[in-house]
Amino acid sequence: MTATRHGSVDARHPAAVPAGMHTRTVRGRAGKPLTPYLFLAPFMAVFGVFVLVPAVYGIWISLHNWDFFLPERPWVGLGNYTELFDPTSFVASEFWQSMRATGLFVLFSVPFLVTIPLGLALLLNRTFRGRTFFRAVYFAPYVLGVSVIGLLWQYLLNANVGLVNHYLSRLGVDEVIPWLTATPWVWVSLVGVTVWWTLGFNTVIYLAGLQGIDTTLYEAARVDGAGRRHEFWHVTLPSLRPVLLFVLTITILASANMFGQAYMLTNGAPNNETRTAIMVIAETGLEQFRMGRAAAMSYVLALLLIGISTLNFFLFRRQEKN
């Protein structure tokens, strides 16, 4: 047992730790090494059966000319992938046109789905009469299925009998707006419906993040004379950086996988301008039964989304270091 300069016992020396305590610590750490894995086992089993195995099997399918109606599924290697990058291939032109439509939807919708819910969360985080009611109202559309949303807005946005054009005409707008059949109105419709439908989810995520910010940070900022604008830029946003990263990433992924809205509202019109990548993949695999080609399209889309997500994490991490 050694003594420090001030006469206390040096806890780093083995003799400074009582024997019983040392034994209990070792047993506590190594006595049940399988316990964490037992807790993880149910999740890993579900993840393996429903995610990992289908993903690996999908790669195997993409390497074959896979047709359910053919007795044999010949090996084509990377043929399904190279076809997607052949500029003379009709399949490639169709796929990349759908990727362009998907990219436009992501570009138009993500800024609104990141900023508008943040503003709503800032408002709903304040204390006022009826706050719980308004929280429920903004989240309510999110619980509806995409088929319900599609049928509802098909009726509202119909150019001839829709309520939107009806009330616009009463306000003095004489032009019949083709919300579902002509550009740029189809993009306005798809983005507007998607924002109305899904902003409640992002708002709830932001609310959870706002309620986790230490209030002493705001008190310290007020002591220093900061106003609401400075509090937002120098306290709220830095504290919400992990939440922003999460919201941005899942919003990009969800928008890139958009299918139901386009299928129900526009069905790809006009001239396949709103025919998204998921629509082409579904038609290729489930209507044309070319599962190998559809699987290859899926993995090209997945790799692009993985790259975008990785870039998001990298940029946010670099921002934190700066």
Q: Average pLDDT, stretch 306-322?
A: 86
The set of residues, in sequence order, having a beta carbon less than 8 Å from that of 284 and lying 6+ positions away, is 290, 293, 294, 297
Phi, psi of 30 (to 5 degrees): -115, 0
Q: Model confidence over 87-98: pLDDT tens digits?
A: 999 999 999 999
> What are the residues facing 3 on neighbouring strands?
9
- Is the separation of the CB atoms in 191 and 109 below 8 Å? yes
Whole-number pLDDT of residue 31: 55
Q: Model confidence over 261-304: pLDDT tens digits?
A: 999 999 998 999 999 999 999 999 999 999 999 999 999 999 99
Q: Model confidence over 218-263: pLDDT tens digits?
A: 989 989 888 889 999 999 999 999 999 999 999 999 999 999 999 9
Rounded to whole angstroms, the Cα distance separating 280 from 298 reads 10
Question: What percentage of the chain carries pLDDT values higher than 70?
Answer: 90
Q: Model confidence over 171-204: pLDDT tens digits?
A: 998 889 999 999 999 999 999 999 999 999 999 9
Using DSSP's 3-state secondary structure scheme, residue 110 falls into helix
Q: What residues does each domain of the chain span?
A: 1-31, 81-321
Q: Model confidence over 80-130: pLDDT tens digits?
A: 999 999 999 999 999 999 999 999 999 999 999 999 999 999 999 998 898
For all residues of the chain together, what is the average pLDDT?
88
Cis preceding-peptide flag for 270 (omega within 30 of 0): yes
Rounded to whole angstroms, the Cα distance separating 112 from 231 reads 22
Q: Which amino acid is at 89?
A: S
- Is the separation of the CB atoms in 265 and 185 below 8 Å? no
DSSP states along 300-312: HHHHHHHHHHHHH
Given 1.10.3720.10, 3.50.50.60, 3.40.1110.10, 1.25.50.10, which CATH number is that of 81-321? Answer: 1.10.3720.10
Q: Model confidence over 165-177: pLDDT tens digits?
A: 999 999 998 889 9
